[in-house]
A = this chain, B = another copy of it.
């Protein structure tokens, strides 16, 4: 291994000068600076990250905590975090909690020790559990897709997304739209519900809370049908895809009989048939922004709300004259609470 000491020797300068030259600090003669650069180059010198971290206290690393890397939502955020970190010369340490909120404290503490800042993507964590976590990180934290007064965050203009979706649906003649909600502890589900209440009041049909997955969607679809809905707005695209699949399976046509709108605009949304109308949120950009927020701590914390945009595709159409009457044999009864406990 070639150390800075070697570089200094070859360049004919002291260790200190070599160090200054490498980190292009002031107080180095042009000549020496040149010598050192040359020596470093020829020796193939690469600074030792751990040694640097030990003295400077900064690791050149940002941490990212997500519930599930295989979920396209988080994968997209991860891409953004990764890209921005790389651009700014940092690396990213990822932790996938496998949707297990209980392990987050450990994961965050552990990661927190090894990074300069932490991007935390924990949509399902109850609000009151957030404070201790921020403390456990022991360093700057930026939240993605949720807000709290105690830390900077980047989220999306959900209210506007809901408005756009609702306007679209109403313009198509859907007077009452059903909402297939997400987990109760989800901050962003709360946002959607609040917006829905403010914008649609009693003309929104609450189907309940579902797991934010394809399976949650099939569950919701049956409920929507039973309720005679002509349009269903979904918590996210995964749910919407499930709704689409279930509708198809039960022989109801989309968008002819019922329109479906998703949220997020995950890659699969545009690949499915019919292509999903959905509220596109800038996931990767959120990841990038979160990384930037890590640097600039401010009081009060900076809260960025990224704009969203409805992407109209093929899963929405004018409301049918009369709602479909699904085949009753496949109708599933409405359970008291369709929410499945999130681990």
**A interface residues with partner B (beta carbon < 8 Å):** 46, 48-51, 53-54, 59, 61, 68-70, 72, 75-76, 78-79, 82-83, 86, 91-96, 98, 109-111, 113-114, 214, 241-242, 245, 248-249, 267-268, 271-273
- Judge whether A79 and B91 touch: CB under 8 Å: no
Distance in Å: Cβ of A211 to nearest Cβ of chain B: 14
CB neighbours (8 Å) of A96 from chain B are 78-79, 82-83
CB neighbours (8 Å) of A61 from chain B are 93, 114
Q: How far is the CA of A340 from the CA of B198 in the complex (A)?
A: 49
Q: How far is the CA of A54 from the CA of B1 in the complex (A)?
A: 13
Starting from the known contacts A49-B114, A86-B95, A93-B93, 15 additional A-B residue pairs (CB-CB under 8 Å) come to A46-B109, A51-B54, A69-B78, A69-B82, A70-B76, A72-B72, A72-B75, A78-B94, A78-B96, A91-B93, A91-B95, A91-B110, A91-B111, A248-B273, A272-B272
Distance in Å: Cβ of A245 to nearest Cβ of chain B: 6
Distance in Å: Cβ of A326 to nearest Cβ of chain B: 17
Assembly of this chain: how many copies?
2
- Judge whether B50 and A59 touch: CB under 8 Å: yes
Distance in Å: Cβ of A92 to nearest Cβ of chain B: 6
Sort A-B residue pairs by CB-CB distance and give the 8 closest, nearest first: A50-B53, A50-B54, A70-B75, A82-B96, A50-B50, A49-B114, A75-B75, A69-B79
Of B94, B214, B249, which contacts A94 at CB under 8 A? B94
- Judge whether B46 and A113 touch: CB under 8 Å: yes
Secondary structure class of chain A's binding surface, majority of residues: helix
Distance in Å: Cβ of A278 to nearest Cβ of chain B: 15
Q: How far is the CA of A227 from the CA of B261 in the complex (A)?
A: 38
Of B92, B93, B109, B214, which contacts A271 at CB under 8 A? B214
Q: How far is the CA of A272 from the CA of B272 in the complex (A)?
A: 7
18 A/B residue pairs, CB under 8 Å, sorted by A = A46-B113, A49-B113, A50-B50, A50-B59, A61-B93, A61-B114, A69-B69, A70-B72, A70-B75, A70-B78, A72-B72, A82-B94, A82-B96, A92-B93, A92-B94, A93-B94, A242-B271, A245-B273
Distance in Å: Cβ of A56 to nearest Cβ of chain B: 9
CB neighbours (8 Å) of A48 from chain B are 54, 113
CB neighbours (8 Å) of A94 from chain B are 78, 82, 92-94
> Please, which residue of chain B has its CB at the minimum distance from the CB of A54?
B50
CB neighbours (8 Å) of A214 from chain B are 271
Give the residue among A54, A109, A242, A248 with the most B Cβ atoms within 10 A: A54
Distance in Å: Cβ of A289 to nearest Cβ of chain B: 17
- Judge whether B83 and A98 touch: CB under 8 Å: yes
CB neighbours (8 Å) of A271 from chain B are 214, 241-242, 245, 268
Q: How far is the CA of A53 from the CA of B72 in the complex (A)?
A: 34
